[in-house]
Structure 1
Amino acid sequence: MAEHAASEGTSPPMLEVDDLVKSFGGLRAIDHASLSVAPNTITGLIGPNGAGKTTLFNIITGYIPPDSGRVRFRGDDITNLPAHKIFLKGLCRTFQIPREHPSMTVLENLMLVPPHQSGEFVLAAIFRPGKVRTEEARIRQQALEVLEFLNLTHIKDEYAGKLSGGQKKLLELGRILMAEPAMVLLDEPGAGVNRTLMQRITDNISYMQRERGITFLLIEHDMDLVMNLCDPVIVMSEGAKLMEGPPEVVRNDPRVLEAYLGGQYAAAEG
């Protein structure tokens, strides 16, 4: 389990969400939501369908604008920045349904990630081909090392669209490693994944937090995964934060047991 950062009380938050509001027609999806994520933690975000979790992710990462409120990342106001500029600041996300490039190989999907590659520019390709080749070789080697770490080397030349759901989730983690972010928002990394691959995914998340210093905020409905991987856990309800705390506190809170865990842990405790 990720340890709650000892310096949480003194270090500034990695991510701050301040009084966000977002409505779609007459439906208020985010209702004055405020929360923060400490650096070098794996923070869980739980709540029932319709609680506003994915909408919150979409606002934080620039896919939709808020009606009001602010988002700060490493102290910088990123409210209303386009998604690609937020990515360049070191804040990445995954999606519940992976968004791989299906007609490209697994290796090519990884090599596409690093920004500002020389080969993207026509003049560089014409006048500085040596630089382009050297850079491409370096990125390819980095991608091969990522694939080895994820145990995906054997499918490096497979088209990404042909992978299983679990393999696509691992590929998304590989793309995260290629981006070298400071923080990642994970939208249901366990959805549609068998237990064997799920264990590999959670082990990789723990490794990236522990060894690479990457901060994670993840939405997940698998409560066993959340309780074993995340600390702290934030609970959302009706577009706002209901509570936050260590997993053992959240799992025993009567409001959470009743509304989100369906009593399964209460039954186990009893």
Structure 2
Amino acid sequence: MQKTDDGQHAHKKPPVLEVRDLVKNFGGLRALNRCSLKVAEGTITGLIGPNGAGKTTLFNAITGFFQPDSGRVLTDGQDITSLPPHGVFNRGICRTFQIPREHGTMTVLENLMLVVPDQAGERFWNCWFRPELVHRQEREIRDRAMEVLDFVNLTHLADELAGRLSGGQKKLLELARTLMAEPRLVLLDEPAAGVNRTLMKRLSENIEYLRRERGITFLLIEHDMDLVMRLCDPVIVMSEGRRLMEGHPEEVRNDPHVLEAYLGGQYGAA
């Protein structure tokens, strides 16, 4: 509870994402072991840990790709545990994948235009009886998509087939596709993997701008510790399917258990 200026009690705003005691088993393997964490609105929260710690499984459970065996996922205090992926998407939660999932035989521009839900042209009768509506909406979506491509510096590739992009360009395209959905929370799965330093700098600058200027919250899985320490606050460490610790980058950087188990001591204090 928080007190207002007149002394009255006001309810504290719930986190944009809360995970409570999630459990997910695959046969005899427990990938999530009563995992709990919170993501505050307007943060770039890092999620680190060794391979097999359960990070991507957690993303899949949050976004409806996996149904947990027990536990809850909440956004703004509302339970979304049982929602399918499109239901989570409609709540303003978008994600990218470690391996980009672009529509390779469609152009970069078409990949973005496809994201917008409930387009009039999706109903065939509108094409016959309301063609003006369909054309007007397509122009608006196209203009918006071009603005997003300009933001991620992919305008020059608008008419290129998405399957022909480099790995780094595909990561930028993934970010652009999430922006077309106007998300409140974006889950990024290893955005730096396979990306050269120039494109990674551009991607990280875009993420910081979107947090600062548009209020988008980010939760990102990443193995590039330099990027995590520079971009994320707080940082959550996972181990064996649950949260090991959470803190500011320097706290994580200097925690002896994290240094020994996950960072190999190379990021310790000088």
Q: Same fold (TM over 0.5)?
A: yes
Q: State the Cα distance separating 1:185 from its structure 2 match.
A: 0.5
- C-alpha separation in 2, matches of 1:76 and 1:232: 23
Aligned residue for 1:250? 252
The C-alpha deviation readout for 1:114-140, integer Å capped at 9, x for no partner, is 100000001111110000000000000
- C-alpha separation in 2, matches of 1:11 and 1:252: 31
Aligned residue for 2:110? 108
Aligned-pair Cα RMSD in Å: 1.0
- C-alpha separation in 1, matches of 2:264 and 2:173: 32
Q: State the AA in 2 paired with 1:55.
A: T
Question: Helix, strand or coil: the match of 2:32?
Answer: strand
The C-alpha deviation readout for 1:152-199, integer Å capped at 9, x for no partner, is 111110000000000000001111111100101000000000000000
Aligned residue for 1:237? 239
Correspondence list, 1:171-182, <5 A: 171-182=173-184
Q: Is 2:66 the counterpart of 1:64? A: yes
Question: Helix, strand or coil: the match of 2:83?
Answer: coil
- C-alpha separation in 2, matches of 1:252 and 1:201: 27
Q: For structure 2, which runs of at least 5 residues remain unmatched after alignment?
A: 1-10
Aligned residue for 1:4? none
- C-alpha separation in 2, matches of 1:57 and 1:144: 29
Q: State the Cα distance separating 1:10 from its structure 2 match.
A: 4.1
Question: Helix, strand or coil: the match of 1:236?
Answer: strand
Question: Helix, strand or coil: the match of 2:254?
Answer: coil
Matched residue count: 260
- C-alpha separation in 2, matches of 1:240 and 1:63: 19
Aligned residue for 1:28? 30
Correspondence list, 1:183-194, <5 A: 183-194=185-196
Aligned residue for 2:213? 211
Aligned residue for 1:93? 95
Alignment partner for residue 163 of structure 1, among 162, 165, 170? 165
Alignment partner for residue 150 of structure 1, among 139, 144, 152? 152
The C-alpha deviation readout for 1:93-117, integer Å capped at 9, x for no partner, is 0000000000000000011111000
The C-alpha deviation readout for 1:215-258, integer Å capped at 9, x for no partner, is 00000000000000000000000000000000011100001110
Runs of 4 or more above 6 Å deviation:
none
- C-alpha separation in 1, matches of 2:95 and 2:75: 14
Question: Helix, strand or coil: the match of 1:56?
Answer: helix
- C-alpha separation in 1, matches of 2:167 and 2:264: 27
Give the TM-score of the pair, scaled to structure 2: 0.95
The C-alpha deviation readout for 1:187-214, integer Å capped at 9, x for no partner, is 0000000000000000011111111111
The C-alpha deviation readout for 1:47-102, integer Å capped at 9, x for no partner, is 00000000000000000100000000122110021001110110000000000000
Query: Mean Cα displacement is larger for which, 59-68 or 71-80?
Result: 71-80
Aligned residue for 2:4? none
Alignment partner for residue 138 of structure 2, among 136, 139, 145? 136
Aligned residue for 1:5? none
Q: For structure 1, which runs of at least 5 residues remain unmatched after alignment?
A: 1-8
Alignment partner for residue 118 of structure 1, among 98, 117, 120? 120
Question: Helix, strand or coil: the match of 1:30?
Answer: strand
Give the % identical residues.
71
Query: Mean Cα displacement is larger for which, 73-82 or 53-62?
Result: 73-82
Aligned residue for 1:43? 45
Q: State the AA in 2 paired with 1:128.
A: R
Question: Helix, strand or coil: the match of 2:191?
Answer: coil
Q: State the Cα distance separating 1:265 from its structure 2 match.
A: 1.0
Aligned residue for 1:77? 79
